[in-house]
């Protein structure tokens, strides 16, 4: 399961940046988590889904900055994390169910 790491890293990265006042430290958390997740996605979901999930991950990060003035900083990060969690779960973590034989 990679969704907790993908979503949690957005929360942790923002928390680190807020707590330390050093935004690049938050970026280190994001990049490290994205690399860890991408490696696992590549093996389990393939190149196409990995690329899509990285676009969602970094798109949610950028989007959180766009909506932060409207919903607040933590609200924006929570929405971004939820988006990433859902996309990651659906595209990389869920295993397709085997069809039941017809009787």
Residue 95 pLDDT level (bands cut at 50, 70, 90)? confident
Is position 19 within any domain? yes
pLDDT digit string, tens, across residues 2-37: 999 999 999 999 999 999 999 999 999 999 999 999
pTM of the model: 0.89
Is position 101 within any domain? no
pLDDT, residue 96, reads 63
Is position 39 within any domain? yes
**Average pLDDT over the chain, rounded to an integer:** 94
Is position 99 within any domain? no
Is position 100 within any domain? no
Say whether pLDDT at 39 is over 60.
Answer: yes
**Host domain of residue 47:** 3-93
Say whether pLDDT at 67 is over 60.
Answer: yes
Is position 103 within any domain? no
Number of domains in the chain: 1
Residue 93 to residue 70: CA distance in whole angstroms: 32
Is position 17 within any domain? yes
CA distance to 1, 44, 56, 64, per residue, from 96 (Å) = 14, 12, 21, 31
Is position 102 within any domain? no
């Amino acid at each position: 399961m990679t969704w907790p790491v993908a979503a949690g890293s957005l929360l942790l990265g923002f928390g680190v940046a807020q707590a330390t006042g050093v935004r690049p430290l938050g970026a280190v958390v994001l990049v490290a988590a994205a690399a860890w997740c991408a490696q696992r996605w590549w093996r389990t979901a393939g190149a196409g889904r990995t690329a899509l999930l990285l676009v969602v991950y970094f798109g949610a990060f950028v989007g959180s900055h766009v909506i932060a003035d409207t919903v607040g900083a933590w609200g924006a990060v929570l929405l971004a994390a939820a988006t990433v969690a859902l996309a990651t779960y659906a595209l990389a973590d869920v295993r397709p169910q085997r069809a039941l034989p017809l009787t």
